Amino acid sequence: MIIVLFGPMGCGKTTVGRILAARLGCRFYDADDYHSEANKQKMAAGVPLDDTDRKLWLKTLRQIIQQHVDEKADMILACSALKRKYRCLLGIDHDRIHGVYLKGSSELLWKRIAARSHEYMAPGLLQSQLETFEEPENGLTIGIEDSPLEICLTIEKQLVR
C-alpha cells in the first residue's frame, strides 16, 4: 500500500507519517527532504514556491512512488500536495496510491506553526499555502484534532485491509 499524507504545513504529515510507517513496517519519505537548495532558500526567505519551483520536486517524488508501485512495495509519503494537479502528478488514484488529507482549522495550524521551528519553512508561508490549497474531492479526509497515534489508527482502520 502506498499512502500520501497531504495538507498545509502544521497538519502533522511528518509526525503521522513516521508513526504510521513504523506501525505498518514500511518506508517513510518526507517530501521536504527532496526540495532543491534554491527552493529551500526561497522558502526560508518567506517566498512561496510556484508551480515552476515545484515541478522537478514533484517529478522526483513521483519517481519514488513509481519505484514502489513497480516493486509492489509499501510506503508512506508526507507531501503538502496543495493542488489537485500536484496530487494527480503524484499518481494518487485511491486504488494503488491512497491520498489522505490531514485537515485542520487555520487557527489550529497557526498554533502548531508557532510552537515549532523548521529548518527553512518560514511560518508566514502558511497563509500562502492556505490560499493555494485545493480541497480534495475524494479520498480520505481526517481531522487533526486527535493525537497522531489516533490519526494513524483511523487511517489503518479505513485503508489497511
Q: Give residue-wise pLDDT tens across range 42-93.
A: 888 888 889 999 999 999 999 999 999 999 999 999 999 999 999 999 999 9
CA distance 20 to 18: 6
pLDDT value of position 84: 96
Q: Do 58 and 90 meet the contact criterion of CB atoms below 8 Å apart? A: yes
Instruction: Give residues with Cβ within 8 angstroms of 52, minimum separation 6.
Output: none
Residue 123 has pLDDT above 60, yes or no: no
Q: Which amino acid is at 142?
A: I
pLDDT value of position 40: 87
Please, which pLDDT band fits residue 114 given cuts at 50, 70 and 90? confident
pTM metric for this prediction:
0.92
Entry field: residues in the chain:
161
Report CA dihedral (38, 44, 47, 51) to the nearest 10 degrees. Answer: 50
SS3 content of the chain, % helix, strand, coil (to 5): 50, 15, 35
Residue 94: count of CB within 10 angstroms of its CB? 13
Which sign, positive or negative, has the C-alpha torsion 27, 32, 33, 35? positive
Domain covering 2-159: architecture:
3-Layer(aba) Sandwich (3.40)
Tell me the β-bridge partners of 76: 3, 28
pLDDT value of position 48: 84
pLDDT value of position 119: 57
- Give the tens place of pLDDT for each residue, 152-161: 999 999 997 6
Supply the mean pLDDT for the chain: 91
pLDDT value of position 80: 94
